[in-house]
Amino acid sequence: MSRWHRFVWLLLLVTLGACRGKPPYEGKSVAELEAMLHSTDATVRAQGALGLSQLGPEARAAVPALAAALKDEAPLVRQHAALALGKIGPDAQAAVPALAEALRDPEWQVRRLAAQALGQIGAAAAPAVPALKQLGRDPDTLVRKAAQEALKKIHP
């Protein structure tokens, strides 16, 4: 099993184990999920970002809060924020500078998800191309691959 698959399974188990029944983000509005990003509890912040990722483009109003969450002290919050911005897609173009900065995150998962998010934003993520090209030297194979894929989506 690859490192990526192990990570996904671990993340899934942790998320499901913490929920015990209905996920805490289920059935919440964008505003309620965005409010969760401001909690003092990192688990609640991560769940808020994950919930916003489930809404995709519908969560566009939360882009500024998600961009700010890319600087959260908790890696899982940063990961879920990048994931959510990618799921929002082109409507998350205001977060391009924050995502470009996240490409230098110490956590490889955050760098990978930030690269993927930039690719999902598409042509509007062009200002991040130099930072994505720098990931060509990233020590992690999955990060390098995500950067290459993002560059193809930004400049097909």
**Any idea what the CATH number is for the domain that residue 30 is in?**
1.25.10.10
- Cα–Cα distance for residue pair 57/84, rounded to 1 Å: 9
CA distances from 126 to 67, 71, 94, 130 (A): 17, 21, 12, 9
**What domain range is 29 assigned to?**
3-154
**What total of structural domains would you count in the chain?**
1
The burial of 154, by beta-carbon neighbours within 10 Å (0-12 exposed, 13-18 middle, 19 or more buried), is given as buried
> Model confidence at 13, in pLDDT bands (50, 70, 90)?
low
Query: Considering the chain, what is the average pLDDT of its residues?
Result: 91
Tens of pLDDT, residue by residue over 92-102, are: 999 999 999 99
Instruction: Say whether pLDDT at 85 is over 60.
Output: yes
